[in-house]
Amino acid sequence: MVIKLSDNVYSPLGTTTLANYEAVLSGRSTLRPYTLPNGASYMASLFPEEQRQDGDLTFFERLCIASASDAIARSGIDASSPKVRFFLSTTKGNVHLLDRRNRQRYDADRQLLASAASVVSRHFGNPHPPVVVSNACISGLSAQIAAMRSVEAGVCDVAVVIGCEVHSEFIVSGFQTLHALSSDECRPFDKDRCGLNLGEAAATIVLASDARCQGTKDRRWVVTGGVMCNDANHISGPSRTGEGSYRCLQALDIDKEATAFVSVHGTSTVYNDEMESIAIDRAGLAQVPIFSLKGNYGHTMGAAGVLETILSMQAVEHGVVFGTRGFHALGVSRKVNVSERHTTTDKHCFVKLMSGFGGCNAAMSFAWEDGDKPLEREGGSLGLADVAEGMHAVSLTPDRVSVDHRALPHQGKGHELLLELYRNQMGDYPKFFKMDELARTGFIASELLLKVSPKSDYNILLFNSVSSLADDIAFQKTIDDKENFFPSPALFVYTLPNIVTGEIAIRNRFQTETNFMVLDKGETVDCLVMGEQAALSAQRGPVLTGWVDCWDKDRFHAVMLAVPKGTDAATITKELVKNINPMQ
């Protein structure tokens, strides 16, 4: 069983969890108007300019460390112990370093998510490579689910999960070009809602095995479930039937009578809130109060899943159901129970729901339980007893393709090789041409792999080292010149690395869990982490997993495995090492 040891929320509203809870309770927000170089106005909750300067550490790294320091101090753990692992949830990390005005001070690789994460974990003296979870807007829940499974399976005793996002012209202009931003304060679920506000924050939750707290009778927070499901519908638009979110809620097996509220995503865009109302209604939860915290914080992206979980815990502990700042009159098609003003509750369970680009959705459930309550839930294990045979492997580099270790003859190299493979092996999926090079690489690898693997609904868990670097650079070029400022919406969508998992899910109609993690370099040590995380997913079902990196259109590297349900970490790691290392 996994419990919470401690937490912290570090936002423009306050630097401790309690200060943030009190700010929400008093209805405060730090949403203010700002303007982009193209004259577009937007509303966001940002830290003051004097706090935002980069120094030896970037502002992003300082925020992560400030939040984690407080949470770690409150937990009483030794963060330098090998029994502790770090998970960082973020979509874009230090992406502002791509802007030439910001980049001089640091090494070129500092913009990479894993580099920033390593700065943070090294600060605490932790010996393991940190795992960055970059799964669009659901990252904060995906990271907690990965942490929960790691603790349950004994991969670690304690998991420090940090969620953090800071904003620059990069993210703001991307959302603006998607016409997703509101120039007024957002109004989740309201009939007059007209888009989202962005927000900055860091938040940290420390999760551990309940063995650490046995013998105490104090109430504690228990993670009672975590599920991810893809819509398999569209890379940027939510499912019109709320399919993925509905499936997540169904799979959680929620006790309505014991549930105080569902803390929803509630971004205040027309489509998101409508989709969530459908999913909640379909799941039979229309009577359960729901609220969104976006009216207080804006959308804090990679931080949101962690921040909103922690504040929901505070609400339950204080017997409160938060009101939804900005909401006045229901503007969705299903009659869901949106909490307009703060009310009271004596219930001790809640659900956190999120959805994101790439078609991903996640839901987690939490319960505030007596310390001496008998254990009702069995912890998981890595399933070492039932090792499954029958893995399949594809590796793909600019000049070599192999399927199950047999080379596939081909003519082209680099970019041309991908086109050749598409034409010879598929040729019936025009969406391929719309994909960026990262998605094309992963897509081709998955197509080759699925031809030789047993038919099944695979979970998808992919890793790489440079996230969506090639698209990040291409998108940055569209906003570098302030006189010629035309951010590209199509490029911006692909600046999320998990879009490749969405493309594979859509192609194959996999309404399964999809996730994307960023590690340092794909060396043996990272293969261990990949094997561990893939095995945790394989406990739930068969998995497509592996490494998909892309530096530019002619430089890519994919190793993808089809892993049967129940395969153990050591077997997956061995196969990854066999395929990855010869190519370095």
For another protein, give the closer residue by CB, 234 or 540. 234
Distance in angstroms (rounded) separating the CA atoms of residues 210 and 226: 17
Distance in angstroms (rounded) separating the CA atoms of residues 90 and 445: 26
For another protein, give the closer residue by CB, 313 or 493. 493
For another protein, give the closer residue by CB, 346 or 483. 483
Taking the complex as a whole, the smallest distance from the CB of residue 178 to another protein amounts, in Å, to: 6
* Torsion sign, CA atoms 326, 294, 314, 346: positive
For another protein, give the closer residue by CB, 163 or 331. 331
Taking the complex as a whole, the smallest distance from the CB of residue 236 to another protein amounts, in Å, to: 6
Taking the complex as a whole, the smallest distance from the CB of residue 98 to another protein amounts, in Å, to: 20
For another protein, give the closer residue by CB, 380 or 414. 414
For another protein, give the closer residue by CB, 330 or 426. 426
For another protein, give the closer residue by CB, 186 or 499. 499
* Torsion sign, CA atoms 411, 393, 540, 497: negative
For another protein, give the closer residue by CB, 174 or 522. 174
Taking the complex as a whole, the smallest distance from the CB of residue 176 to another protein amounts, in Å, to: 11
Taking the complex as a whole, the smallest distance from the CB of residue 493 to another protein amounts, in Å, to: 6
DSSP 8-state secondary structure symbol assigned to residue 509: T
Closest CA to 116 of 56, 159, 60: 60
For another protein, give the closer residue by CB, 375 or 490. 490
Distance in angstroms (rounded) separating the CA atoms of residues 216 and 125: 29
Distance in angstroms (rounded) separating the CA atoms of residues 417 and 554: 9
Q: What is the DSSP string of 366-406?
A: EEEE-TTSPP-S------GGG-----EEEEEETTEEEETTE
Taking the complex as a whole, the smallest distance from the CB of residue 11 to another protein amounts, in Å, to: 30
Distance in angstroms (rounded) separating the CA atoms of residues 463 and 115: 15
For another protein, give the closer residue by CB, 484 or 524. 484
Q: Give the three-state DSSP class for 343.
A: strand
Distance in angstroms (rounded) separating the CA atoms of residues 462 and 422: 21
Taking the complex as a whole, the smallest distance from the CB of residue 268 to another protein amounts, in Å, to: 17
Binding footprint of another protein on the chain (CB under 8 A)? 177-179, 234-237, 430, 433-434, 484, 486-490, 493
Taking the complex as a whole, the smallest distance from the CB of residue 432 to another protein amounts, in Å, to: 9
Helix, strand, coil % (nearest 5) of the chain?
40, 25, 40
* Torsion sign, CA atoms 471, 475, 480, 484: positive
Cβ contact 397:389 at 8 Å: no
Taking the complex as a whole, the smallest distance from the CB of residue 194 to another protein amounts, in Å, to: 11
For another protein, give the closer residue by CB, 238 or 295. 238
**Pairing state of beta strands 392-397 and 400-403?**
antiparallel
Distance in angstroms (rounded) separating the CA atoms of residues 581 and 584: 6
Distance in angstroms (rounded) separating the CA atoms of residues 457 and 392: 15
Taking the complex as a whole, the smallest distance from the CB of residue 315 to another protein amounts, in Å, to: 36
Distance in angstroms (rounded) separating the CA atoms of residues 45 and 66: 18
Give me the residues paired with residue 403 across strands: 394, 406
| The residue type at 142 | S
Both tokens assigned to 490: 């199509």
Taking the complex as a whole, the smallest distance from the CB of residue 489 to another protein amounts, in Å, to: 4
